[in-house]
Amino acid sequence: MSFGGPGWPQQPHQGNDRPYQQQPSYGTGPGAPAPGPGGPGGGPGFGFGETGADTPDWGALADASAARARRRRRLFIGGGVLATAAVAAVVAAAVVTTDGGSGRDPAKNGAAPVLPSESARPEPSFSSVAPPPPPNPRDFIASAAKDKAPIGPETLFPGSRLTVGDRAYRKGATAATDGCGSAAQGGLGAVLAKHGCDRVLRATYVRDGVAVTVGVALFENEAAARRAKQEATGGIAPLAGSGVGEFCRATVCLRRANAVGRYAYFTQAGWTSGRKVTRDDAQVFKASDDLGTFTFDQIYARGRAQASAAATAPARTG
C-alpha cells in the first residue's frame, strides 16, 4: 500500500532466505579459527551451512528455529478453528432458545431459523397513493353550485379607499339589486336578463375629477357570464352619492366589459365635470384599468379562499 510516497514493504527485509538467521562472529582469542581469505585478515571464512571444530552448527539451529515457527503457526490456526466452532455453537443455541421456549427444532418443522430482530420498533410505512391535487380556485367561482361564500358590496368592495400603486381612490356610494335591468343602461339590461342575471353589485370610486362605477353581475355559471360579456351593449348605470355628484349623463364616457368565472363585470368612467372623454384622456383610461383589475382580483380571491377552505376541511366519511 502506498501513502503518497514509496510503497511500504509487505514483509520484513531479512538479507537471506533463513528466518531469524544470524551472521557468524569471528573471534580473535585462543581457539578461534584462523582467518581465511574470506574473513578478516584473509583467512578462510565460515559461510552459512559450514561448521568448524568449535563452531555451532548454524544451519541446524536455523532449521530448528524454522520448525518451531511452523509448529506455532499450526497451533494458532488450530486454535482459530476451535474458536470459530465455539461461536457458531453459541449462535445456534441462541436460535433454539428463541423458539418460544418450546425446545422444538425449527428445522424439523420445515421452518428456517429466525434470528431475533435488532429492534422491536415497527418500520415506518409510506402510502403509495398519491395525494389529490389542490382544489382549483376557478372551480369555485365557475358556478353558483360551488360558489357559496357570502357576497355583497362590502365584501367585494371593502374599506373606504383603494390604493393602486401611487394612486389613491376614495370610495363613494355602493348598491346591490336583484333587478339587474335597473342597474344598466343602453341595452345592457336586456342582455343581462337574457342570460339569467341574478344580482348586480355596484360601487363608485373617484380621484382627481374622474369617477368610475364598477358593476358586477352574477350568473348561474361561467358560460352565461361569458355570453353576457360578449353580447354587452350600453353600459353599467353610473352610481352617484356619498360625495360624488352625477356623472356620465348626456356625455361621452368610457365603457368596458369583462368576465371571470360566473361573474361579468363592467366599468363606466368619466369626468365629474361632465366633460366628454376622448382617446387622449389617459387619466380616465388609467382609472378604468385600475378598477377593472381590482375587481378581477377580488373575484378571484373568493375562489382562492374557498379552495383553501376545502383543502383544509376534514374528509367526510360514510
Each residue of 78-100: pLDDT tens digit?
A: 555 455 555 455 444 444 444 44
Q: CATH: 3.40.1000, 3.30.70, 3.40.630, 2.40.50. Which one for 139-310?
A: 3.40.1000
Each residue of 207-256: pLDDT tens digit?
A: 999 999 999 999 999 999 999 999 999 999 999 999 999 999 999 999 99
> Which pLDDT band, with edges at 50, 70 and 90, does 317 fall under?
very low
Average pLDDT of the chain, as a whole number: 76
Phi, psi (rounded to 5 degrees) for 295: -65, -45
The residue ranges of every structural domain in the chain are 139-310
| Residue range 157-183: mean pLDDT, rounded | 97
